[in-house]
Amino acid sequence: MSRKPMLSFLLFAVSLSSCVATPNLHIVNGETQMTLSQSAPISRGVDISPDGNYLLTGGLNVFTHWDISKGILIKRYHAALPQIMGTYLTTAIIPVAFFSNGKYALSGGEDVKVWGLSSGTVIRTITDGPAASIGVSSDGRRVLMCDESEWAFREDKLIVYDAVNGTKIAEWEAGGSGGIIALSPDGEYALSSGGGGRKSIKEDRGVIHLWDVSSGAELKTIQGHSGSVGTKAVAFSPDGRSILSVGGSDGLAKLWDTASGSLIRAFKVSDDRFVGIRRFGGIVNGWVAFTPDGKRIIYMGSDASFRIFDARTGDEIATLVLFDDGKWLVVTPEGYYNASEKGAHLSEGPL
């Protein structure tokens, strides 16, 4: 990375209509200054491949396949969103997940489809039902989806399918989960939270629910995050022994013991002022996940940046911004940075 100290690093969201944010990056080194300003997409639908080299990001009626080891945008895919009837849908973003050891991709929205990443075509449809969020077990045999209600009087449903034959394994009502869900690596447990959604009363928005997939029974609740937004992202660790959550109002990431529900540690991941960005009446939630080896945590909030943290210490390692045109930029807390081949064109000052 180029060794240019960064005196200030500001990322903030300004666009409500297109679900994008404008990262403003200022790097100053003596008389040399670089100012970056270009819109980047906000995405709640994100997933990392099992080998850690590829990324899927969901957008408005599209999702994108990235090679993050080489910094290349591989391909964009078009997927349909359900027709919006009510006013409570969390976001109009296509949820995505890697499938079958990273060879295929799942997309939600109007339905749940399996895509061949080598061919770029639809292989099959798992269900014709709408999916606001999706999750996949580590062996690729189970798919969790949230049928998110756009009406306050109807509860969201969590549904688990056999990914191979499309058979419905389980279905249960999960209150106003707001599409914030996760499936455990073994496919036996599910998480949901009502954070960020106006369907949930304020007191419930921080609560994390742990469900038994086979029965649909609620095993325990965890009082995750306080504030008006509550819990805006959840994930299981790769071994399933820990639960990771991120709060929208407190900006904290919290690691919980799955078996006991006790707090292991907490650390700051965001000071985002724009936690209340709305899309079609719903909240644009965050996304969080472990890297496949469990050593890193990646978080994306409403500032359109991916922040990478050490899972053991909570220290921030780097910030990554992916742009719609295939450009990318990485900045460390110390001010070092790297960019794609055309990344220099993003700056308004000399590099």
How big is the CA angle at 240 (ends 164 and 309), to the nearest 5 degrees? 110
How big is the CA angle at 104 (ends 136 and 318), to the nearest 5 degrees? 70
Query: For the purposes of burial, counting CB atoms within 10 Å of the CB of 259, is it exposed (0-12), middle (13-18) or buried (19 or more)?
Result: exposed
Question: pLDDT tens digits for 273-319?
Answer: 443 333 333 444 578 899 999 999 988 876 677 888 999 999 988 88
DSSP per-residue letters across 133-192? EEEE-TTS-EEEEEE--SSTTS--EEEEEETTT--EEEEEE-SS-TTEEEE-TTSSEEEE
DSSP per-residue letters across 289-304? EE-TTSSEEEEE-TTS
pLDDT exceeds cutoff 80 at 194: no
Tokens (6 digits) for 247: 């709060």
Tell me which of 28 and 1 has the higher pLDDT: 28
CA–CA separation, 92 and 283 (whole Å): 10
* pLDDT recorded at residue 322: 76
Question: pLDDT tens digits for 113-132?
Answer: 999 999 999 999 999 988 88
pLDDT exceeds cutoff 60 at 346: no
Q: What is the mean pLDDT of residues 219-241?
A: 88
pLDDT-above-90 percentage for the chain: 32
CA–CA separation, 184 and 252 (whole Å): 22
CA–CA separation, 108 and 112 (whole Å): 5
Q: What is the mean pLDDT of residues 326-340?
A: 75
Work out the pLDDT band at 15, boundaries 50, 70, 90: very low
- The conformation of residue 202, written as its DSSP 8-state character, comes to G
pLDDT exceeds cutoff 60 at 208: yes
Question: pLDDT tens digits for 42-78?
Answer: 666 789 999 989 999 887 788 889 888 887 889 989 8
Domain 37-330 has CATH 3.90.190.20: no
Residues 300/46, Cβ–Cβ less than 8 Å: yes
CA–CA separation, 160 and 164 (whole Å): 12
CA–CA separation, 351 and 201 (whole Å): 49
Q: Count CB atoms within 10 A of the CB of residue 323.
A: 20
CA–CA separation, 162 and 261 (whole Å): 28
What is the model's pTM? 0.81
Residues 181/192, Cβ–Cβ less than 8 Å: yes
Q: Which of 67, 66, 90 is nearest to 77 (CA)?
A: 66
Tell me which of 338 and 246 has the higher pLDDT: 246
Helix (H, G, I), strand (E, B) or coil at 346: helix
* pLDDT recorded at residue 231: 84
Work out the pLDDT band at 84, boundaries 50, 70, 90: low
pLDDT exceeds cutoff 60 at 324: yes
The number of residues in the chain equals 351
For all residues of the chain together, what is the average pLDDT? 76
